Amino acid sequence: METAVFRLEGVTKRYGDLVALDNVSLDVGVNEYVSFLGPSGSGKTTLLRVIAGFEKPDAGRVFFEGRDITFLPAHERGVGFVFQNFALFPHLTVIKNVGFGLTHGKSPLPAAEVDRRAREMIAMVGLSGMEGRGVDQISGGQRQRVALARTLAMQPKLVLLDEPLGALDANLRGRMRNELRAIRERLGVTFLHVTGSENEALAMGDRVVVLDRGSIIQTGTADDVYEAPASPEVAHFLNRFNLFEGKLANDQFTGPFGAVVAPAARKSDRDIYAVRYDRMRVKPVSAQPEGPALKATFVASEYLGSSIMSFFETGDGHVVEMEHHLSLGAPDIYEPKQDYLLTWNPDQAIVFGREAR
Amino acid sequence: MTDTTASGPRKDRTTSLLLLPGIIWMALFLITPILMIVYVSFWTQTTFNISPDPTLASWKQFFSSDTYIGSLWTTMRIWLIVLATTFIVSYPTALFVGLLVKSKTLSTILLVICIIPFWTSFLIRVLAWRPMLGKEGAINIILQNLGIIQQPIEVLLFTELSVIIGMTQIYCLFMVGPIAFMLARIDRNIIEAARDLGAGFGRIFWKIIFPLSLPGVVVGAIFVSVMVLGEFATSGALSGRKVNLLGNIIVTQVGSLKWAMASVVGVILTVVMGIVIAGFLRIVDLKRDL
């Protein structure tokens, strides 16, 4: 228990009839980077706001450093919050923004000390020389850094980031990802990062917490979640799996591709057969593959730099995606509107079913 | 490239065409009258006649008369007091309507309620204060019946106080509107961020909310100033002719066909307003902040 800096116990939050958080429990250690992944409306922002103290839970407890902080006001928690739209003070300069909490917080510091610490934070996020700029005179990425510096200047033990990279363009997002991780490692504080992007969640978190409709549906390292999604929903959010509906019976999954042996199926409330995009193989329609096969028409492909995504459409209108890593060699060229056979190694498929043990 | 050269002159012509009605209107009904007022202020005025012979007589008369100079100071004093009272009444109202009320619909309804007094005419709104404030008016009767006072308070009506009360009531809406608008535009996350950084309500108000609402205060102050400086009706109806503003002087002078003197006062009033507006605009950069 010494290592758990932060704990949620059965936190529930309702807005009228809508259950935003349903009995959420979680332990977070010191010096950990946890990312929360979920679609919009999954309750991830509400969870962050409950932890920050902007919302009171209807049931459950929030513990921080061994203290029950469930009903403590936001500023007494020692928890920093980085807003999605940065929420910088638009009429103040960069250094005034960063020093705001130190000057106007509950234990104000002398001006010289505020200045020193604010400059130190500005240097840490790489904005030295911009102290005197207005926050409307800097770019989006720089604003993001100011928001981070402003929160970190208060030396919180826990930093909450609400989709911190959502307002940035793709290029900047990649750079800020690395930087966020580096800053966190330097300071040794715990970051809770909420995101709707599966790439971001997998890339950033030491641990990924997947939320759906107010409940945690999986917790684990990025590897765990990616290699072994706990439910069809997780597989769906990861956006890396072709999901086929069908029926699991007697260790056999019957789907649009026929019947396949599925000895290691996982218990779920739906029968779903999941194959990762990069596990799919494409064969000419005349081939006789060993494994399961599905006839589909090639639609188009998308070049992603390190890989190529190809899209196929099955007879019932279902789109199947196939990812080819370019490091594995030049891609095959497919003819649009031609039929191909899609196949995969059934050992690599992940099967969910009501009948699974 | 060919596109821009082709559309360049056409665009210019469209711009001038769009500007033309405004320019004509302003030239006819704003620039020309102002120039005329300046011109007429130098005309020679005799008791029953006015002639365009240039003279400084009216100007000298204005600055050598205690009555006229006194009314200039009265105007300034009333303006500053009304500016202060409208601000004191309006800011908390705007704070409630623009910031504390969370529902947009409710805050719109509240603003509309503020406008309801404007459904009656200006003069009726002013005159309605008489039965309220008079010696046998509503306020005195209520206070007497409650036993708080024995004798009616006579300073309530036909004094500077009644003029200030009347003007505050009429003009505070022009202050509430712009301030509420600026407050409503403040991102709530900013306030939460300040709270999360440990700032208490007082600090959040003085360091965040008030500075961000300042453009609204300035716009409201300009509205109120322009209207109060040119006032004559409220002071005429509620002061019992004891408070003479520059506006009242103009009305009297025009009434007795003293066009030259009325023009002098008009020019002075215009200059005062110009200085006041320029002063307010120095406080904030409206182009940037609005």
The DSSP string of A25-90 is EEEEETT-EEEEE--TTSSHHHHHHHHHTSS--SEEEEEETTEE-TTS-GGGTTEEEE-TT----T
Please list every residue in chain B whose beta carbon sits closer than 8 Å to the beta carbon of residue A79.
196
Residue A202: inside a domain, yes or no?
yes
Q: Bridge-partner residues for A297, per DSSP?
A: A313, A339
Tokens at A53, concatenated: 């103290």
Nearest CB neighbour to B190, from listed A87, A104, A151? A87
State how far the Cα of A132 lies from the Cα of A130, in Å rounded to an integer.
6
> Helix (H, G, I), strand (E, B), or coil: what is residue B164?
helix
Phi, psi of A234 (to 5 degrees): -60, -45
Please list every residue in chain A whose beta carbon sits closer than 8 Å to the beta carbon of residue B189.
83-85, 87
pLDDT at B2 over 50: no
> Helix (H, G, I), strand (E, B), or coil: what is residue A311?
strand
Residues of chain A with confidence (pLDDT) below 50 = 1-2
State how far the Cα of A237 lies from the Cα of A241, in Å rounded to an integer.
9
Question: Residue B176 sits in which domain range?
Answer: 63-289
> Helix (H, G, I), strand (E, B), or coil: what is residue A169?
coil
What's the one-letter identity of residue A210? V
Last residue of one domain, picked from the residues A227, A250, A273: A227
Residue A76: inside a domain, yes or no?
yes
**Rounded mean pLDDT, B35-55:** 90
State how far the Cα of A103 lies from the Cα of B23, in Å rounded to an integer.
51
Nearest CB neighbour to A100, from listed B192, B197, B211? B197
pLDDT at B209 over 90: yes
Residue B163: inside a domain, yes or no?
yes
User: Count of CB atoms within 10 A of residue B18's CB?
Assistant: 9
Residue ranges of alpha helices (H) inside A125-246 are: 140-152, 170-187, 198-204, 222-227, 232-238
State how far the Cα of A262 lies from the Cα of A347, in Å rounded to an integer.
8
CATH of the domain at A259: 2.40.50.140
Same-domain check for residues A255 and A202: no
State how far the Cα of A256 lies from the Cα of B18, in Å rounded to an integer.
66
Tokens at B269, concatenated: 């009033």
Search chain A and give the residue with CA nearest B193: A87
Search chain B and give the residue with CA nearest A85: B189
Length of chain A (residues):
357
**Which is higher by pLDDT, A49 or B287?**
A49
Shortest distance, CA B184 to any CA of chain A (angstroms): 15
* Contact flag A81-B192 (C-beta cutoff 8 Å): yes
Looking at every residue in chain B, the average pLDDT score rounds to 90
pLDDT tens per residue across span B231-280: 998 998 898 888 889 999 999 999 988 999 999 999 999 999 999 999 99
* Contact flag A104-B194 (C-beta cutoff 8 Å): yes
What's the one-letter identity of residue A285? V
Do the Cβ atoms of A104 and B207 come closer than 8 Å?
yes
Shortest distance, CA A101 to any CA of chain B (angstroms): 5
- pLDDT score recorded for residue B210: 95
What's the one-letter identity of residue A49? R
Q: With the C-alpha atoms ordered B237, B238, B240, B245, is the resulting torsion angle positive or negative?
A: negative
State how far the Cα of B231 lies from the Cα of B261, in Å rounded to an integer.
18
CATH of the domain at A218: 3.40.50.300
Shortest distance, CA A124 to any CA of chain B (angstroms): 19
- pLDDT score recorded for residue A67: 86
Looking at every residue in chain A, the average pLDDT score rounds to 87
Question: Residue A112 sits in which domain range?
Answer: 4-227
Residue A232: inside a domain, yes or no?
no
pLDDT at B1 over 60: no
Please list every residue in chain A whose beta carbon sits closer than 8 Å to the beta carbon of residue B195.
73-75
Search chain A and give the residue with CA nearest B209: A89
Query: In this complex, how many residue pairs, one in chain A and one in chain B, have their CB atoms less than 8 Å apart?
Result: 65
Tokens at B211, concatenated: 């500075």
* Contact flag B189-A88 (C-beta cutoff 8 Å): no
- Give chain A's domain count: 2
Q: Select from A194, A187, A195, A184 the least CA-distant residue to A160.
A: A194
Phi, psi of B20 (to 5 degrees): -55, -55
Please list every residue in chain B whose beta carbon sits closer than 8 Å to the beta carbon of residue A88.
190, 193
State how far the Cα of A285 lies from the Cα of A52, in Å rounded to an integer.
56
Number of H helices, E strands in chain A: 8, 22
Same-domain check for residues A270 and A180: no
Phi, psi of B273 (to 5 degrees): -60, -40
Same-domain check for residues A84 and A174: yes
Interface of chain A against chain B, CB under 8 Å? 52-54, 73-75, 79-81, 83-85, 87-91, 100-101, 104-107, 150-151, 154
Angle at B83 between CA B78 and CA B88, to 5 degrees: 125
Shortest distance, CA B218 to any CA of chain A (angstroms): 16
pLDDT tens per residue across span B48-106: 788 888 999 999 999 999 999 999 999 999 999 999 999 999 999 999 999 998 888 99
Same-domain check for residues A175 and A262: no
Residue A235: inside a domain, yes or no?
no
- Give chain B's domain count: 1
Shortest distance, CA B55 to any CA of chain A (angstroms): 52
Contacts of A179 (CB under 8 A, 6+ apart): A125, A126, A145
Q: Select from B85, B278, B102, B104 the least CA-distant residue to B176.
A: B85
CATH of the domain at B136: 1.10.3720.10
Phi, psi of B152 (to 5 degrees): -60, 145
- pLDDT score recorded for residue A248: 86
What's the one-letter identity of residue B256? S
Residue B167: inside a domain, yes or no?
yes
Residue B138: inside a domain, yes or no?
yes
- pLDDT score recorded for residue A65: 85
pLDDT band at B289 (very low <50, low <70, confident <90, very high): low
Shortest distance, CA B190 to any CA of chain A (angstroms): 5
- pLDDT score recorded for residue A3: 63
Same-domain check for residues A123 and A86: yes
Last residue of one domain, picked from the residues A175, A202, A227: A227
Nearest CB neighbour to B197, from listed A53, A84, A105? A105
pLDDT at B4 over 70: no
Residue with tokens 């043990």: A357
Nearest CB neighbour to A89, from listed B195, B198, B208? B208
* Contact flag B207-A100 (C-beta cutoff 8 Å): yes
